[in-house]
Amino acid sequence: MGARKGAGKHTGRYVFTLIQKFRTEHGERYPVLSTRPDIIVITDEAHRSQYDIFAANMRSALPNAAFIGFTGTPLMAGEERTKEVFGDYVSVYNFKESVDDENTVPLYYENRIPEVQLVNDELNEQMAAIIEDADLDEDQEEKLERDFKREYQLITREDRLERIGKDIVAHFMGRGVLAKAMVISIDTATAVRTFDMVRKHWGDALERLREELAVADPMEKPELEQRLNYFEETGMAVVVSQSQNEIEEFKKKGLDIATHRKRMVKEDLETKFKKDDDPLRIVFVCAMWITGFDVPACSTIYLDKPMKNHTLMQTIARANRVFRDKQNGLIVDYVGVFRNLQKALAIYGAPQDGGGPGDTPIQYKSELVRQLREAISTATAFCRERGIAPAAIRAARGFEREKLKEDAVAAFVVNDETRRQYLNLAGSVGSLFKSLLPDASAYEFGPIRNVF
């Protein structure tokens, strides 16, 4: 808690505090600190903790103060507490507006290996309700495992996690844009298990890439070598909260948390993951780092945890930060949260002025296919207008092809404007194709690489 006095005629005072400072013992009433009407309380992250006993105590302490809340995820849709506590909106800046202003990148969504997804929507809703606060303590994890024993075993069974681990490796290595990723699991034990599965298949995938490099066309080798080096140096880590007797409890489950805990204590994993050029590129979490944690280089969220409402929106936002040539963020769903995602987007992605739902800031990955077709069509028309036939260049071989390519270059560099237009169009096609990878639909537009 800190204070600072203002300067000049209008002397003021600024107090910085945590809501937990307004704690009372059971049955105790918090004393009035001031009845002045000219006190303004500005609250950041104005959700959850702002609607309970601490918040009530703060209002008892400052009965005539005005309250302003800042939050990216107001509680609504059956939990309309934000407006109750803070009043109507003064200003709204939603996900779509942020994308339109290029302050964040658009998000895309894809289902992976649907045969290992949960399809019981009611179950997802019930489990998500229990873990909505994200940071489950040891007792809550035990309650989740006990109350949803059958469903929990379904999510965490070894063969399912092995398939997910193998798919994460194939997906991560097949992406067009090389960037960082987060794997979100239902609890700490599952985060460790998923890490083990990914590590198990990582070596196999690297060996396949080495075999591919050995027989590759000399023209393709530089790119393959670059990708292989990138994946060989890529590091991964488990980042989970510590619990009592965790080493023994994990041993009972056949898991080693001691090695991970030692690394979490000795290394500054947060700084490593946030650094663009640090090789720590995949983290396995269940609660830590999924809210209020910005890593612009993170482009992919592998989601294997039932979630809803503000926790879900906070989590997917880990992938929407602007970074270099990153065109979009991607949510890969293994647990089937799309219905909850649609509900959350209806709340947090829509305008709050009563003007209708607006455009969603997250779309199916298939939308990229439509955009890519459109970009190719525009670029092709641009070429044809200048007497260049891309299909003829692709079909030609040897010297004929080289001659057609030289003619195309001459047509595109005839002046700076034409050159700039062509580079923009070609760049758009290339970026969209990279964003689509490793989706099988990319085969329509060019070769894709599969490490399994």
Is the pLDDT higher at 17 or at 182? 182
The structural domain count of the chain equals 3
- What pLDDT does residue 266 have? 96
Helices 309-316/338-348 angle, 10° precision: 90
What pLDDT score was predicted for residue 14? Answer: 87
Q: What is the per-residue pLDDT across 338-359, written as a single tens digit (0 to 9) for each?
A: 666 666 666 665 554 444 444 5
Higher pLDDT among residues 176 and 270, named by residue: 270
- Residue 272 inside a domain? The answer is yes
Predicted confidence at residue 7, as pLDDT, reads: 39
Which residue do the tokens 């809703």 mark?
125
Which residue, of 91, 109, 137, is where some domain finishes?
Answer: 91
Q: The tokens of 105 are what?
A: 């990148």
Q: In terms of Cα–Cα distance, which of 400, 80, 144, 170 is closest to 287?
A: 144
Average pLDDT over residues 255-275: 96
pLDDT at 242 over 50: yes
Specify the higher pLDDT residue, 412 or 337. Answer: 412
Report yes or no on 452 lying in a domain. Answer: no
pLDDT band at 310 (very low <50, low <70, confident <90, very high): confident
Residue 449 lies in a domain: no
Q: State yes or no: cis peptide before 438, omega within 30 of 0.
A: yes
Residues 250 and 140 in one domain: yes
> Is 451 among the domain residues?
no
Q: Is 80 in the same domain as 111?
A: no
Residue 245 and residue 225 share a domain: yes
Residue owning tokens 């949260």: 337
pLDDT range class, residue 119, cuts 50, 70, 90: low
Residue 415 pLDDT more than 70?
Answer: yes
Domain for residue 440, yes or no? yes
Q: Are residues 181 and 59 in the same domain?
A: no
- Identify the top-confidence range among 65-69, 173-177, 202-206, 402-406: 202-206
| 262 pLDDT above the threshold of 90 | yes
Average pLDDT, the chain: 83
More confident residue, 24 or 421: 421
Query: In which residue are the tokens 């039932």 written?
Result: 306
Mean pLDDT of 245-261: 94
Residues 60 and 120 occupy one common structural domain: no
Note whether 75 and 146 are same-domain residues.
no
Q: Are residues 22 and 111 in the same domain?
A: no
Percent over 90 (pLDDT), the chain = 47
pLDDT attached to residue 185: 94
Q: Is 450 inside a domain boundary?
A: no
| 219, two tokens | 């023209």
Residue 6: the pLDDT is 41
Mean pLDDT, range 326-334, rounded to an integer: 92
Q: In which band, very low, low, confident or very high, does the pLDDT at 304 lie, cut at 50, 70 and 90?
A: very high
The pLDDT value given to residue 1:
36
pLDDT tens per residue, range 220-239: 899 999 999 999 999 999 99
- Please write the tens of the pLDDT for every residue from 121-173: 555 566 666 565 545 556 666 767 776 777 778 888 999 999 999 999 999 99
Listed residues 343, 364, 385: the one ending a domain: 364
- Whether residue 321 has pLDDT greater than 70: yes
Same domain, 427 and 408: yes
Residue at a domain's end among 320, 346, 364:
364
CB 246 within 8 A of CB 257: yes
Whole-model pTM? 0.81
pLDDT tens-digit map of 37-57: 999 999 887 766 666 788 888
CATH of the domain at 309: 3.40.50.300
Q: What pLDDT does 189 receive?
A: 93
Residues 335 and 410 in one domain: no
What is the arithmetic mean of pLDDT over 409-418?
93
Q: What is the distance between the alpha carbons of residues 181 and 164, in angstroms, rounded to a whole number?
A: 15
Judge contact between 208 and 451, C-beta under 8 A: yes
* Higher-scoring residue by pLDDT: 107, 10: 107
Q: Are residues 243 and 382 in the same domain?
A: no
pLDDT score for 267: 97
Distance (Å, rounded) from C-alpha 166 to C-alpha 157? 15
Residue 390 counted as domain residue: yes
How many Cβ atoms are within 10 Å of 126's Cβ, its own excluded?
A: 14
Domain limits at 388? 370-444
| Pair (325, 427) in one structural domain | no
Answer yes or no: is 211 within a domain: yes
Residues 384 and 235 grouped into a single domain: no
Looking at per-residue pLDDT, the higher value among 359 and 443 belongs to 443
For 53-110, how does the pLDDT look when each residue is reduced to its tens digit (9 = 90+)?
888 888 899 999 998 888 766 654 444 566 777 777 788 777 778 888 989 999 999 8
pLDDT at position 375:
95
Pairing of strands 329-333, 298-304: parallel
